[in-house]
Amino acid sequence: WLSYQNLLDGPSYSWNNPGKLYHHYVLGRASTASIIPKPTTAITAANKIFPGILEKMRCYSFRIPTPVVGAADITFQLSSKIRINDLMGAINNFIQMQRWPILHLNSEPLVSVDFTGTDYSAVIDNRWIEIINGDLLNLTLWYDNEWGYSRRVVDVLRHAMNLEPKKIINEEFTLS
């Protein structure tokens, strides 16, 4: 959950406009005892980088009682059929070729807390990759919404200053 959410049921006030009630009633519900669905601006922000993505994707989030690390369940309708071996080869190839630590692949039986402090923007959970009928792809991603974002800001600054990517701090995940 986010620090501005209520611990007990009550009105949810905006941080951007102090004193003004937030327009999503559910954010006023008890955050430590609830799974709270809400719209997210992530896809709107992505549309600025990938124009037209708004017509192809929808995005919402669930506020859950954990301080950091989120999971995304993403389903893609592919334009052509793909086999799991080809997909895994493409993912592994991308991971090996990436200059900045964007994606990582995990096969261990980990949960959200195990990804706290990951340098990657997203960790694809190999256990939950699924292809249905060859052209419907479902992925589960883990991400530390605080640390991972901060690392990308540092990467953008390093790139702007023509500096090399910073070494990965947390390469391996372990069972806590």
Task: Give 74's contacts (C-beta < 8 A, 6+ positions apart).
Answer: 138, 139, 140, 141
Mean pLDDT of the chain: 84
Contact 82, 135 (CB under 8 A): yes
Please state the rounded mean pLDDT for residues 116-129. 93
Fold of the domain spanning 1-65: Dihydrodipicolinate Reductase; domain 2 (3.30.360)
**Cβ(47)–Cβ(54) below 8 Å:** yes
Contact predicate 137/76, CB 8 Å: yes
Q: What is the mean predicted confidence (pLDDT) over 89-109?
A: 93
Q: Which residue has the higher pLDDT, 27 or 116?
A: 116
- Count of CA atoms in the C-beta half-sphere (13 A) of 34: 16
CATH 3.30.360.10 for domain 67-176: yes
- Is the pLDDT confidence value at 31 over 90? no
pTM reported for the whole predicted model: 0.75
Q: Tell me which amino acid residue 9 is.
A: D
Tell me where in the chain the CATH 3.30.360.10 domain(s) lie: 1-65, 67-176
